[in-house]
Amino acid sequence: MANEKQCASASSCGKSSCEGCPSAKGGAPVDFSAKLNEKSSVKKVIGIVSGKGGVGKSLVTALMASAMQRRAKKAAVLDADITGPSMGKSFGLTAKAGGDGENIYPAESNTGVQIISANMFLRNDDEPVIWRGPMIAGMVKQFWTDVIWSEVDYMFVDMPPGTGDVPLTVFQSLPVDGIIIVTSPQELVSMIVAKAVKMAQMMNIPILGLVENYSYFHCPDNGKDYQIFGDSHLQETAEKYGVDILARLPIDPAIAAACDAGKIEEVKLEQIDGICDYIENNLR
């Protein structure tokens, strides 16, 4: 299993070894890793994934990057959700990506988070990206190889939902140090989480833990917490697959308003700080 991260067929062939595989030359595994630009420096890469859309994966990505930046760590966001980019909006960025004809330069948020997103290459933010999988995967790799990332301590990769082309490309091409799986309380989602967990295990990608978004609503009037989406099934899912629960995030209209206003960097959550502590203690 040690070489399956590098094999294009590893997620579907079901074999425990790449030996003798026609996808490999002379029985050796094919290396699909993409080389970081020689002018860039990125220490740690963390993927933010989800088995389905709408669970708040991009929100967690933005909150994590903002929190790390507040800790005097240089944070970056690689928005790998090419057809549904949202990072520019969350951070209030309207600037396009810079370039000198040879290299691409990310935009920077108010606090200095380096961000690259597909919308930064479009004339208008509402233009759709109607591409097939190989082109989307190629753009994700270019975000790694052609963009100049400056002394990044933690890069957060916001991936599209599911287990398709882009997650496969990121897992095979980028040196991912670990992933955080974002979910929500509904029972259906526990099955979707299982798919994300199993893909990471098949690709030999470390799972840092689970984050449950929309976990509860804290009523400001009576101080009670209400589980709007019903009882959580996170604990049983975590125990079943042997992964940690990193945080349970509340439903908070103020957070949604901050995203819409491009002021995500102003949001501070103790749960997110707890995840940052975990990352700094476990990714060295």
Arithmetic mean of pLDDT, 79-102: 90
Q: Can you give the pLDDT at residue 129?
A: 86
The answer, yes or no, to whether residue 2 has pLDDT greater than 70, is no
Q: How many CB atoms lie within 10 A of CB 164?
A: 14
**pLDDT interval class at 140 (50, 70, 90):** very high
**pLDDT interval class at 165 (50, 70, 90):** confident
Q: Can you give the pLDDT at residue 92?
A: 94
* Helix, strand, or coil (residue 45): strand
The predicted-structure confidence for 93-108, as pLDDT tens digits, reads as follows 988 888 888 889 999 9
The lowest-confidence range among 26-35, 79-88, 160-169, 219-228 is 26-35
The lowest-confidence range among 8-17, 43-52, 197-206, 231-240 is 8-17
Q: Can you give the pLDDT at residue 188?
A: 67
Greater confidence, 187 or 37? 37
Q: With DSSP H G I counted as helix, E B as strand and the rest as coil, what are the percentages for the chain, rounded to 5?
A: 35, 20, 45
DSSP 177: -
Q: Can you give the pLDDT at residue 144?
A: 96
As given in the structure block, the two tokens for residue 234 are 């996170």
**pLDDT interval class at 131 (50, 70, 90):** confident
Greater confidence, 44 or 56? 44
The predicted-structure confidence for 202-255, as pLDDT tens digits, reads as follows 999 999 999 999 999 999 999 999 999 888 888 888 898 899 999 999 999 999
* Helix, strand, or coil (residue 147): strand
Q: Can you give the pLDDT at residue 3?
A: 40
Cα–Cα distance for residue pair 196/265, rounded to 1 Å: 28
Q: Can you give the pLDDT at residue 11?
A: 42
Cα–Cα distance for residue pair 227/210, rounded to 1 Å: 18
pTM: 0.87
- For 57, phi then psi, to 5°, come to -60, -45
Q: Can you give the pLDDT at residue 210?
A: 95
**pLDDT interval class at 151 (50, 70, 90):** very high
Number of helices (H), then strands (E), belonging to the chain: the values are 9, 11
Arithmetic mean of pLDDT, 165-183: 94
